[in-house]
Amino acid sequence: MASLQNYPGSRLLESLGPYTTLNVDQLNFVAAQFFALGLAALYRTVFRPEKVSPSIRHAFGLLFGLWMGYFCFGYHAVHLAGLPAVCYLVILTQNPQVVHGAVLFVAMLYLSCVHLHRQCFADSSYGLDISGPLMVITQKVSSLAFSLHDGLVKRERDMTPSQKLYAIKKVPSLLEFFSYSMMFPSLMAGPVIFYNDYIAFIEGGMCAGTKKPPLDAKRVILRDPSPARAVFRKVCAAVVCALVFVLFLPTFPISKIKEGPFVDDTSLGYKLWYLTAATAVVRAKYYFAWCLADAACNNAGLGFSGYSPDGTPLWDRFSNVDIVGFECGTSLKESIDSWNKGTNRWLRFLVYDRVSSRATLLTFALSAIWHGFYPGYYLTFLGGALFTFASRTVRRRVRDHFAASRESKLFYDTSTFVATRLVMAYVTYPFVLLEFWPSVVLYNKLGWFLHGVAAALVAFGPRLIPKYEDAGRKNEIAMVLRRAGPYSDAVGRID
């Protein structure tokens, strides 16, 4: 186990290291998240909105967020307050016309400096780093600034539905701003929550857009339903993912793909199979952290989205990840939409829904810079943009040709499921490896073949693949797709 001599966080749990496979930084992260999970229940019950004032709820969430930050990061936790403090000064001093761009620039500059310091100077012996929570805080303060710009500058008729929903008409107080930025349930691993949703949670208001309970529900529906079932399910999922990571990482280390025997002496099929397995094991680490964070938020009362048809409360309004949606997605879009869902919402709110051209490229660019400056990130995001365009071409030009029957639709979905798994492993391994030349060396051995296929689809697909134009069969196809049930996501989009 690494000595972690330069780790600035608490060493209270260091003696437990020999009994686990975890270093003290990893133990601190796990302990902090389970502490947040238990504290969230106290927050939801003892400090519920009917019993205490919003100021007390703000202060409670902020104080324990600061404590968790200090426990995990020591004196580095000053950045958790430093980034929002600088951005709050920008909000107070800048014209509402430009405040959104100014806050995004300052927050990204601050975060980028931390990323670069970690990349160039930090001790690589420990994996827990202050940049993780700062990435979440950057999302919060920038989305707040954009909402403030919308509320103070834009006319309502010029706003999209999401901009109307999240528009802010006045600058938050100091306590509101900092408690929103550093609330303990979502501090360490998200998910990002927009400011108006956070205020509704603090003040006890029902979240906008939640579904009412069905009138014929057999059980008694409470206004404040218990999140126990959702919390238990997500904690179990987190534990399973942690076991997968711990048990299979020694068998499928990502570092193996840099070794000469793997690069030079294995077949193309084995390389692709190993990349698929190794990247899946790494994803389990993210699933663990995100599911546990989701559980903490739900246990605090965050994330209620309404009721299912049988009256079961749903707790998926704010979520980091949809594991089944990612692992079983039949298209690149489905998988991307299911991965880091809070970040997808943030990118859509800030970029994708606001620009008229090159929205996809600009969205990938902001996402790449937000992640940091390791070369592997940029190989993945550049490849991701290319494969996204190629995937759109296939969906628009090919899918409808297979929609004539349930069997052909199933064949199409099965084929795209396999292709999506292959592409995900192929395009994301540099993101995990981080290094440029080892990633490029392996791509050279693979012949960049999937990049070539994607580029050909983008360049020649619209010209060579005829679009399905049989208008007379649209209703028939729609009926087939509806009968296909879970095999189809195209109902209502035949045109």
Q: What is the pLDDT of residue 356?
A: 80
The per-residue pLDDT of the chain, averaged, comes to 88
pLDDT confidence band for 104 (50 / 70 / 90)? very high
* 125 falls within a domain: yes
Minimum mean pLDDT range among 107-116, 262-271, 368-377, 456-465: 456-465
* 4 falls within a domain: no
Q: Mean pLDDT over residues 204-214, rounded?
A: 51
Range of the domain at 67: 21-203
Q: Do residues 235 and 169 share a domain?
A: no
Q: Is 340 a catalytic residue?
A: yes
pLDDT above 90 (res 457):
yes
Q: Do residues 329 and 313 share a domain?
A: no
* 278 falls within a domain: yes
Q: Mean pLDDT over residues 337-357, rounded?
A: 93
Question: Which of 273, 296, 317 is a domain's end point?
Answer: 317
pLDDT above 80 (res 180):
yes
pLDDT winner (highest mean) among 147-156, 219-228, 305-314: 147-156
Which pair of structure tokens corresponds to residue 272? Answer: 């692709």
Q: What is the pLDDT of residue 310?
A: 85
Q: Do residues 300 and 439 share a domain?
A: no
Q: Tens digit of pLDDT for each residue in 7-38?
A: 889 999 988 888 888 889 999 999 999 999 99
* 12 falls within a domain: no
* 3 falls within a domain: no
* % of residues, the chain, pLDDT over 90: 74
Q: Do residues 386 and 311 share a domain?
A: no
201: Cα separation from own chain's centroid: 21
Q: What is the pLDDT of residue 372?
A: 95
> Count of CB atoms within 10 A of residue 368's CB?
20
First-to-last C-alpha distance (Å) of the chain: 58
Question: Are the beta carbons of 178 and 184 closer than 8 angstroms?
Answer: no
The sign one gets for the Cα dihedral 383, 385, 391, 396 is negative
Q: What is the pLDDT of residue 21?
A: 80
* 180 falls within a domain: yes
pLDDT confidence band for 283 (50 / 70 / 90)? very high
Q: What is the pLDDT of residue 6?
A: 78
Q: Is 117 a catalytic residue?
A: no
Q: Pick the residue with more confidence: 395 or 40?
A: 40
pLDDT above 50 (res 248):
yes
pLDDT confidence band for 123 (50 / 70 / 90)? low
Q: Do residues 388 and 431 share a domain?
A: yes
Q: Pick the residue with more confidence: 126 or 279?
A: 279
Q: Mean pLDDT over residues 87-93, rounded?
A: 97
Q: What is the pLDDT of residue 483?
A: 45
Q: What is the pLDDT of residue 111?
A: 97
Q: What is the pLDDT of residue 488?
A: 35
Q: Do residues 259 and 372 share a domain?
A: no
pLDDT confidence band for 219 (50 / 70 / 90)? very low
pLDDT above 60 (res 2):
no
* 7 falls within a domain: no
Q: Do residues 327 and 313 share a domain?
A: no
Q: Do residues 446 and 326 share a domain?
A: yes
Q: Pick the residue with more confidence: 445 or 23?
A: 445
Which residue of the set 100, 149, 371, 451 is catalytic? 371
Q: What is the pLDDT of residue 212?
A: 45
Distance CA 385, CA 391 (A): 10
Q: Pick the residue with more confidence: 18 or 335?
A: 335
* Residue 308: C-alpha distances to residues 221, 252, 292, 486 (Å): 11, 39, 23, 17
Which pair of structure tokens corresponds to residue 153? Answer: 């500058």
Give the E-state strand segments of 34-133 in sequence order: none
Q: Do residues 25 and 105 share a domain?
A: yes
Q: What is the pLDDT of residue 464?
A: 84
Q: What is the pLDDT of residue 312?
A: 85
Q: Is 324 exposed, middle or buried (0-12, 13-18, 19+ CB in 10 A)?
A: exposed
Minimum mean pLDDT range among 35-39, 98-102, 134-138, 406-410: 406-410
Q: What is the pLDDT of residue 400?
A: 85
Q: Do residues 183 and 249 share a domain?
A: no
Residues facing 307 on adjacent strands: 313
Q: Tens digit of pLDDT for each residue in 33-81?
A: 999 999 999 999 999 999 999 999 999 999 999 999 999 999 999 999 9
Question: Which of 289, 317, 345 is a domain's end point?
Answer: 317
Q: What is the pLDDT of residue 213?
A: 45
Which residue of the set 6, 340, 344, 451 is catalytic? 340
Q: What is the pLDDT of residue 127?
A: 63
pLDDT above 80 (res 222):
no
* 402 falls within a domain: yes
Q: What is the pLDDT of residue 334?
A: 92
Helix 406-433 vs helix 268-300: crossing angle, to nearest 10:
90
Distance CA 457, CA 140 (A): 37
* Residue 55: C-alpha distances to residues 92, 180, 181, 199, 299 (Å): 21, 12, 15, 11, 20
Q: Do residues 397 and 249 share a domain?
A: no
Question: Which of 255, 288, 317 is a domain's end point?
Answer: 317
Q: Do residues 40 and 154 share a domain?
A: yes
Question: Are the beta carbons of 99 and 90 closer than 8 angstroms?
Answer: yes
Total structural domains within the chain: 3
Q: What is the pLDDT of residue 223?
A: 53
Q: What is the pLDDT of residue 22?
A: 85
Distance CA 86, CA 97 (A): 19
Q: Pick the residue with more confidence: 118 or 33?
A: 33
